[in-house]
Amino acid sequence: MSEDGIAGVDQPQPQLHSLGNGRYVLQHLLGQGGMASVHLAHDKVLGRPVAIKTLHTELGRESSFRERFRREAQAVARLQHTNIVTVYDSGEEVFADGATVPYIVMEYVEGQSLRDVLNQAIAEHGAMPTEQALKITAAVLAALDVSHDQGLVHRDIKPGNVMVNTKGVVKVMDFGIARAMQSGVTSMTQTGMVVGTPQYLSPEQALGKSVDARSDLYSVGCMLFELLTGQLPFDGDSPFSIAYKHVQEEPPAPSGLNRAVTPAVDALVARALRKDPAHRFPTAEAMREEVERVAAGEKTGGTPLMAGPLVIGQGPSAAHSSGLKNFAPVPGDINTPTPQVQQPYQPPQAGPYGPQTPPPAQYPTPLGQQQFQTPPPAQYPTPMGQQQFQTPPPAFAQPTPTPAPMPVHGGGFAPVKANSGNGCSTALVVVGVIIGVIILFIIIIAIVVTKTDSSSSSLPSLTAHVAQLLPDQAQR
């Protein structure tokens, strides 16, 4: 036997060939850990294969530990559940040199350990699928619920202590270092060694405080974190550094390492890994129900609402706040849009050849009225003996459309400027008519004067009179 009490495959020892006064014949080593080794053995009395766990020699030397282990092994033997490896027997083997090796005879589970299943999933996918991880976790919690009802805390939940048989049934084993909650014994042995695996220790275990059922729930949270991400929540170079991280540091979110993990699963793991046991799930049954509820949401594609206590000061890690993350994100851009500032009216810049002629504005003609047109000049009869004077027709320019009114800052419209060409044409017509009337009036006066005064002496005065009238009319 080696110094640590583990019989290696390449170092067979005659005294470890059998246990229980020769009833259990050891065949080969199934696995070993930091505290115990597991052998496949044959029960000669009942003729069936069994698994036998032998504790290391340093633990077996402590009489108080052996007594406690004996009482707890008896309690574990009373546990009957589908997800718990059945304990058949327990005892102590005393060798010739005085060394005592406690052992437990258990049900032999044909299958793989959860550690092997996880390693295979990591090799294929990088981590275990979420649905499978939640299903295995729920089965482990169901087993812990039964043990906690019997007053037993496992204290060493990890993938290496969980088996999956050939039918996919999960089996929790290694209750051999479980502690009875009513015993009042701390998690420290008399040699000062912490019982459990450092990577899965609860903060209260690392500090050497008394533990209860919630300590196992912390270890389940560590195991679930590893199943989802393929990594441990806390790891280090030494057991002391790992224990320090369990006590002082916050674990990362699983979704930070595996984007397939949903916010609901993040919240579940975060609550299980709370430093304060009062902020974790109160019982294994409560945690199992939450795991099953989250798993149902994973199957249906929905996200169940997380019902947990609001912990002041925990920020986003609080259960209530984590539940708010489960709502679907608002689609589209949720940023405040850029305000639309209306610019004041800026007149168009004139080109190199002056402003362009604006399009004509069509004004409707009021009903019942006709469009105003400039009347033609009146025709007067020409006196006898005089050549008829005709006013030349005005040269009308092509009509230019009236420009549309331009908007101004006050909200109205700028007045429309009259077209200079149309105004000039109208003025010429009016002036021509006035001149024609004056000339006709002068001719009539001349005829009358000629008839009344036929003397030649009056002609110069008439001419002077006419000359005087013309400047006066021109001035008007």
Q: State in Å, rounded, how far the first CA of the chain is from the last one.
A: 146
Per-residue CA distances from 439 to 16, 150, 376, 448, 467 (Å) = 156, 139, 19, 14, 12
| Pairing of the two strands 152-153 and 162-165 | unpaired
For residues 13 and 57, give the distance between their C-alpha atoms in angstroms, rounded to a whole number.
14
The answer for residues whose C-beta is within 8 angstroms of residue 197's C-beta and 6 or more apart is 33, 34, 156, 158, 160
The answer for residues whose C-beta is within 8 angstroms of residue 388's C-beta and 6 or more apart is 382
For residues 295 and 132, give the distance between their C-alpha atoms in angstroms, rounded to a whole number.
9
Contact 257, 122 (CB under 8 A): no
- Please write down the HEC assignment for all residues of 393-462: CCCCCCCCCCECCCECCCCCECCCCCCHHHHHHHHHHHHHHHHHHHHHHHHHHHHHHHHHCCCCCHHHHH
The SS3 call for residue 177 is coil
Q: How many CB atoms lie within 10 A of CB 115?
A: 16
Per residue in 80-90, is it b (16+ CB within 10 Å) or e — as a string?
A: eeebbbbbbbb
Q: How many CB atoms lie within 10 A of CB 323?
A: 19
Q: Which two three-digit tokens encode residue 129?
A: 């699928």
For residues 294 and 266, give the distance between their C-alpha atoms in angstroms, rounded to a whole number.
10
Identity at 349, one-letter amino acid code: Q
Q: Of the listed 43, 97, 149, 156, which one is catalytic? A: 156
Q: 156 an active-site residue?
A: yes
Catalytic residue numbers read 156
